[in-house]
Amino acid sequence: MIKTDEVTLTNFQWPTGYYNDGIEMGLGVSDKLDFGYLVSEVPASAAGTYTTNKFQAAPTKLTKNTINQDHQLQAVVMNSACANSCTGKQGEQNALTEQKLMSEKLGIDLNLVGVASTGLIGAQLPMDKVTAGIEKLSPHHDDNVTKAVMTTDKKPKQACVQIKMGGKTVTITGFAKGSGMIHPKMATMLGFVTTDAGIDGELLQQTLSQNVDTTFNQITVDGDTSTNDMVVVMANGMAGAPKLASTDDADFSIFQAGLHLVLQELAKQIAADGEGATKLVECNVEGAFSDLEGQEVAKAIVGSNLVKAAIFGQDPNWGRIISTIGMTNAHVDIEHVDIEVNGIKMVEDSLGLPFDQQAASDSMGANKVVIDVNLHVGSASGQAWGCDLTYNYVKINASYHT
Which residues are identified as catalytic? 188
Shortest CA distance to 268 belongs to which of 380, 369, 144?
Answer: 369
With a CB cutoff of 8 Å and minimum separation 6, the contacts of 232 are 46, 47, 48, 63, 67, 73, 76, 114, 116, 191, 192, 193
The 336-375 contact track toward its own copies, x by CB under 8 A, reads: -----------x-xxxx----x---x--------------
Q: Using the rule CB under 8 A, which residue among 125, 320, 338, 371 binds its own copies?
A: 320
Q: How far is the CB of 96 from its own copies (least distance, A)?
A: 18
Shortest CA distance to 381 belongs to which of 132, 165, 214?
Answer: 214
Do the annotations mark residue 177 as ligand-binding?
yes
Specify the residue, 14 or 393, whose C-beta has the smaller distance to its own copies.
393
Q: What is the largest CA-CA distance in the chain?
A: 69
Q: How far is the CB of 376 from its own copies (least distance, A)?
A: 14
Do the annotations mark residue 188 as ligand-binding?
yes
Is 309 a binder of its own copies (CB under 8 A)? yes
Stretch that binds its own copies, among 141-149, 244-252, 256-264, 309-317 (CB under 8 A): 309-317
Q: How far is the CB of 183 from its own copies (least distance, A)?
A: 8
Shortest CA distance to 221 belongs to which of 174, 165, 176, 268?
Answer: 268
Q: Where are the alpha helices (DSSP H) in 27-86?
A: 58-70
* 306 DSSP assignment: H
Q: Using the rule CB under 8 A, which residue among 54, 128, 246, 248 binds its own copies?
A: 54
Q: How far is the CB of 274 from its own copies (least distance, A)?
A: 11
Q: Which SS3 state, helix, strand or coil, does residue 272 take?
A: helix
Is 196 a binder of its own copies (CB under 8 A)? no
Q: At what angle do helices 252-272 and 201-213 cross, to 10 degrees?
A: 40
Question: How many chain residues are in contact with its own copies, going by CB under 8 A?
Answer: 64
Residue ranges in 235-274 that form contacts with its own copies under rule CB under 8 A: none
Q: How many helices (H) and strands (E) does the chain have?
A: 11, 15
Whole-number CA gyration radius for the chain: 21
* 335 DSSP assignment: T
Rounded CA gap, 129 and 28, in Å?
11
Is 186 a binder of its own copies (CB under 8 A)? no
Q: Using the rule CB under 8 A, which residue among 80, 87, 188, 217 binds its own copies?
A: 87
Do the annotations mark residue 61 as ligand-binding?
no
Specify the residue, 95 or 259, whose C-beta has the smaller distance to its own copies.
95
Q: What does the binding site for its own copies look like in residue numbers (CB under 8 A)?
A: 52-56, 83, 85-88, 120-123, 180-181, 185, 222-227, 304-306, 309-310, 312-313, 315-320, 322-327, 332, 334, 347, 349-352, 357, 361, 389-391, 393-402
Enumerate the known binding-site residues for substrate.
Answer: 151, 177, 188, 275, 397, 402
